[in-house]
Structure 1
Amino acid sequence: MTLIDRPPAHADARPATQRLLEALDARRPGHALPAALYTDPDLHELDLRFIWQRQWIFVGSVAEVPEAGDYLTVDLGPSSVLVLRDDDEQVRAFRNVCRHRGARLVEPGHGSVGNLVCGYHRWTYGTDGALRHAPQLMPGTDPACLGLRTVALREVAGLLFVCLAADPPDDLDRVAEVVDPYLAPHRLSSAKVAAQVDLVEDGNWKLTMENNRECYHCDGHPELLCSLFPTWGLAAHQVPERLRADHERYLQAERDLVARCEELGLPHALVDDLVHRSVGFRVQREPLDGAGESFSPDGRALVRRLLGDLPEFRLGRLGLHTQPNAWFHLQADHAITFAALPLSVDRTLVRTTWLVDADAEEGVDYDVEELTATWRATNAQDADFVALTQAGVADPGYEPGPYSEAEGQVEAFVSWYADRMREEVAR
């Protein structure tokens, strides 16, 4: 072999699936993943194939496509998905690929169309995906066979999930049955977008999700700690003596919230099924500190108009997590959706969207800067933490360390990921 033919020093001739299984086998329960699962481009390709092309992925809310012709696009690895409200007011999802020679139909982001017109050869599709016009189509060609390729889409109380698999996992309906009563009073299907911010984190998507799944690091979020109790996420035996009074205050706020939810008929109890189903999820209504109304410096509401059918502001927050890529915070005044989307092995897009009641007026009922301040600051801090971790796991000195007691949901996420990857390899 000549020097020019020599493979790179990091090359590994073993099949990627073999390396994946070896990496998963090497992880000790209760410990972080081996470095290759955060840094190896070939294993990242398997993530895209086995998770992002097979599982239900949160992509946005119906509030982002409020009128006929409104659309959003989202990239799931190499696949671009177009989510569109058609002329009959139904939300649909399609591959963002012209059926002629494959040109992208619409640019990334949000927009509105009458018809979908390919910018290359002017093939034109209706909002229902049907081919309406194709110049000089060969005689005998049936346009009915050339509609846009559909993508499975499911709305859950105003939240939109898509799945690229020909045979999507069948448990999203069951998850919807559980979480819909929690979400329904917020009426996200009739909310509107107050703001949306895209932030790129310099880390693998799993590091983004792991960071989100714990508050062990929350001392690094001063803005968030204004509304989260200092002992949030700690079991009673984990509370240090200096925080005992704060913990008693939290327990009293929790009792008060539970009592009020019972009076109002609002579901509040924890349901945790993060590991064993395809759509792992966790949902619970919990108290907030201060005034107990919203994520703000004093815990008071940031929007003067109540969201949906909720009767009062002091109802804490409804937290929902879904595997593999989303988390949600719903208060009585507004809701926030978060979607993590992989851009490369070491870059992840975090899309944050603030939703308010459709009748709320900017500048009258809310101020966008105030509404978004806590999570803009918190997301930026999280991006720094994720970048630090990506740099560390790429270091030859990295060895996976043990999780703390406060990182149970990180262990649940990693276990969910490992189980789904093994299932896909076994197909």
Structure 2
Amino acid sequence: MDLIATHELDDPLAKAREATADMLQARARNFSLPQPFYNDARLFALDMQEIFEKEWLFAGMTCEIPAKGSFMTLDVGSNPIIIVRGNDGHVHAFHNVCRHRGSRLCVKDKGKVAKLVCPYHQWTYELDGRLLFAGSDMGSDFDLASYGLKPVNVKTAGGFIFINLSENPPAIDDFLVTLEHYLEPYQMDNVKVAVESSIVEQANWKLVIENNRECYHCNGSHPELLNSLQEFDDTEDPRATPAYKSLVARKQADWDNEQVPWQLKRFGKRNRLTRTPLLDGIVSMTMDGQPGCKKLMGRLTSPDMGSLRILHLPNSWNHFMGDHSIVFRVLPLGPQQTMVTTKWLVHKDAVEGVDYDPEQLRRVWDATNDQDRRLAEENQRGINSKAYQPGPYSETYEFGVIDFIDWYAERLLTNLDQDAPTLHVAKG
């Protein structure tokens, strides 16, 4: 009889892969995606396999694991991950899965340990993933070296931690070098998380990102945010006014004097960095536009740094100001469920209640996140209707959304093509 030597033919997603590739190749560019991309469980599984398990993901900040043994955990779909600071000071990442019977090793979001010890049967691992102890019952010939934790690719730059779950991650070093350069003024070894929040949006992760990539909706939805934020961040934006261009020129001269980089940098459509002014006379994303933290970040001497905006697809956007920074992480939970985590960073020596009030610091983005949640959820409800069909994006107001969807379609098609099964038939 013929035996199939590769498991791909039994892949329950095989037909979905083919249908997904066909839909992407036939899609109308500058239109939203066909309905299954936003609500189908099989397509969500492909998103997790081909995007979130193969692209570089923003995981957290190095300041969250400041000392050896400090760890943080997160879940990428069904893959629990642990990120830990080793004895050598380096950041390591592993699948948070014991090599004995597969139990999770670390069950808390964050903490500090001397060793990584499985709570089930006490198998013990060094901070670099080596198995140190498996008990005497495994036998005298048991090879500890064969059962270390399975590593996850990890890179750090500018205080950011990125992970990649694939065996052959795409190149990212050019972006990381630039990220390090742009965040040098903030001295990211000297920051801390002042406050953190996570919300769950009942919407597909792509709708969360699409909503973020445009401010077409801002006037009608974000009164708190528009106390400080410009609706555009590029003088080449067709909506940019002469007043905005003049403000940009003045602020860029100030930033040059501070030796702070501001130029727009792009790395394909995945990464984008640019520093842009807030509204004239406004220095921070707070309710009154004034500093939310009295102690400035890093080596900065002025709070009037505008916002350094950093985009990293598929799961992060960020704002860095003179007094504090805000970082965002998106993790899909299901076809129509997404977790958005927001962290507010301040100088590590800033004193709560003296230099900053956490409630004041977070007020603008707490309101904005909740408003965006409602928008994404209503978007999802409409898309679920049998009346939905892809609609046109505005090339003026929604070019950021077009870029995101183009990036997503290109990466998904590329990764699907790399996974195309080669049939090997064995006789037996």
Normalised TM-score (structure 1) = 0.91
Cα displacement (A) at 1:233 = 6.7
Q: Where do 1:50-129 residues align within 5 Å?
A: 50-129=50-129
Name the SS for the 2:138 alignment partner: coil
Q: Greater CA deviation, 109-118 or 198-207? A: 109-118
Consecutive unaligned residues in structure 1, runs of 5 or more:
1-11, 240-246
Pair 39,364 (structure 1): closer, same or farther in 2 beyond 3 Å: same
Matched, 1:257 2:247: no
Q: Where do 1:36-51 residues align within 5 Å?
A: 36-51=36-51
Provide the C-alpha distance between the structure 2 equivalents of 1:184 and 1:13, rounded to a whole number of angstroms. 45
8 Å Cα contact 2:247/2:280 also seen in 1: no
Equivalent of residue 260 in structure 2, options 263, 266, 274: 266
What amino acid sits opposite 2:381 in the alignment? A
Cα displacement (A) at 1:87 = 2.5
Cα displacement (A) at 1:236 = 6.6
> What is the RMSD computed on CA atoms of the aligned residues?
1.7
Query: What is the aligned partner in structure 1 of residue 399 from structure 2?
Result: 408
Cα displacement (A) at 1:128 = 1.9
Query: What is the aligned partner in structure 1 of residue 283 from structure 2?
Result: 293
Name the SS for the 2:92 alignment partner: strand
Query: What is the aligned partner in structure 1 of residue 30 from structure 2?
Result: 30
Cα displacement (A) at 1:147 = 1.3
Cα displacement (A) at 1:190 = 2.2
Query: What is the aligned partner in structure 2 of residue 149 from structure 1?
Result: 150
The runs of at least 4 aligned residues of structure 1 exceeding 6 Å deviation read 233-236
Matched, 1:335 2:325: yes
Query: What is the aligned partner in structure 2 of residue 323 from structure 1?
Result: 313
What amino acid sits opposite 2:229 in the alignment? L
Provide the C-alpha distance between the structure 2 equivalents of 1:379 and 1:230, rounded to a whole number of angstroms. 17
What amino acid sits opposite 2:53 in the alignment? Q
Q: Where do 1:230-241 residues align within 5 Å?
A: 238=239
Query: What is the aligned partner in structure 1 of residue 217 from structure 2?
Result: 217
Matched, 1:391 2:381: yes
Query: What is the aligned partner in structure 1 of residue 342 from structure 2?
Result: 352
Cα-to-partner distance string for 1:356-381 (whole Å, 9 max, x where unaligned):
10110000000000001111110000
Consecutive unaligned residues in structure 2, runs of 5 or more:
1-11, 419-428
Cα-to-partner distance string for 1:338-368 (whole Å, 9 max, x where unaligned):
0000000100000101111011000000000
Matched, 1:418 2:409: yes
Provide the C-alpha distance between the structure 2 equivalents of 1:217 and 1:250, rounded to a whole number of angstroms. 20
Q: Greater CA deviation, 346-355 or 127-136? A: 127-136
Q: Greater CA deviation, 178-187 or 349-358? A: 178-187
Provide the C-alpha distance between the structure 1 equivalents of 2:68 and 2:281, rounded to a whole number of angstroms. 40
Cα displacement (A) at 1:392 = 1.1
Provide the C-alpha distance between the structure 2 equivalents of 1:76 and 1:232, rounded to a whole number of angstroms. 31
Name the SS for the 2:366 alignment partner: helix
Cα displacement (A) at 1:226 = 0.2
Pair 374,274 (structure 1): closer, same or farther in 2 beyond 3 Å: farther
Provide the C-alpha distance between the structure 2 equivalents of 1:68 and 1:190, rounded to a whole number of angstroms. 16
Query: What is the aligned partner in structure 2 of residue 8 from structure 1?
Result: none
Normalised TM-score (structure 2) = 0.91
Provide the C-alpha distance between the structure 1 equivalents of 2:345 and 2:410, rounded to a whole number of angstroms. 34
Query: What is the aligned partner in structure 1 of residue 371 from structure 2?
Result: 381
Q: Greater CA deviation, 93-102 or 124-133? A: 124-133
Pair 236,342 (structure 1): closer, same or farther in 2 beyond 3 Å: closer
Q: Greater CA deviation, 198-207 or 223-232? A: 223-232
